[in-house]
Structure 1
């Protein structure tokens, strides 16, 4: 297993650098307009690549968003692995919510994800990372874990959190973990949106009462 991106063959190094360049280009454009308004031509211009190059790396513009979502999901999963065993359900909600707000480099992608949840709901993400990207973006993921992380969704993570909370009797709702995970996402989304409108109220505490 390679320890750094520079140890990979040049072809893979260029692959990672180009996909990252495209991701950063979209991130910069998101400071100017909504994701739905961004065109492939604008992405290519900002990334200084041709349309042909863009489509060599992403089949559609939406796949750039799914690429971010794959990276973001893995980042959240790795943080969850570091949680102490005695962390309460309410503390877990607050931790994840804090991570959403701490995402500064790709903050507008988080906004797009919130809108994505509201309009579409989480679907299977077909974007996968190659081995060089795992090494570039993350530290400590074993090669045999790549498939697991490439198929992980935030909804799956939320389901696991809710299931454990049910087993520990921290929440009284008897819904299936999948439905609870949707509710979990709804609490995060509602808190995120209302905090943007009025940051003087602890909206997460308000919406979290739904679990009581």
Structure 2
């Protein structure tokens, strides 16, 4: 599960009190949900339980989230921010291929701490028949999560759709794939890999990161792309 960076000074001291309280309460509610999801299905978690963790009343909850499902969307925004920061550190060349590798690597390493959370998120999204509307993280929330990264406020974040779109744009710009690439079909194939592989991987007892990367590499090669040797590895359980 995500952890806040250590800092000696309150990272939100420059923000107004209202913004500080909003950022801390929303973050506490979301982290509280993740904690409970480590041992219980999402549908069994009650709002009143989350309120106890965040030390707020149940009516006050709705000042931060219109409904419980919005906590999942908030979590996805936080996850996207962590993926983006991870990519900034790993993908120095700024390639679309590198961004997608970071997406799979970071998510796999986080899910290894508790696979249930990733499966619950996938199940949640599978049940939704309409496009999910993500709430944007506030500057105070970004600063709370990454107090030691001044550039954090300039990073654009979103869900899996935004990350895939960014990766496709980078790949096109860097000419990492053929000119006649069907970008929409490729994005759908990678998205299918992202959401489908975890279910099979956990059922079969396979290492998620390895299977994710091997499947993604197969898709990438099939689209005419090239793979850097250092990212390929032998499967490990």
TM-score of the aligned structures, taking structure 1 as reference length:
0.77
1:209: which partner in 2? Answer: 218
1:161 correspondence with 2:167: yes
Aligned equivalent of 2:151? 141
Shift of 1:49: 2.4
The alignment yields a C-alpha RMSD, in angstroms, of: 3.3
For 2:36, the equivalent position in structure 1 comes to 29
User: CA 1:207/1:10 → structure 2, altered by over 3 Å: closer, same or farther?
Assistant: closer
Give distance in 2, aligned partners of 1:47 and 1:11. 16
- Change in CA separation of 1:31 and 1:88 when aligned onto 2, cut-off 3 Å: closer
Cα distance in 2 for partners of 1:197, 1:29 equals 22
1:114 is matched with 122
Does residue 181 of structure 1 match 2:190?
no
Number of residues paired by the alignment? 205
Asked if the contact 2:42/2:120 (under 8 Å) is kept, the reply is yes
Q: Is it true that 1:100 corresponds to 2:107 in the alignment?
A: yes
Q: Assess, with a 3 A threshold, how the Cα gap between structure 1 residues 98 and 173 changes in structure 2: closer, same or farther.
A: farther
Unaligned runs of 5+ in 2: 1-9, 223-237
CA–CA distance in structure 1, aligned partners of residues 81 and 159 of structure 2: 8
Cα distance in 2 between the residues matched to 1:189 and 1:7: 39
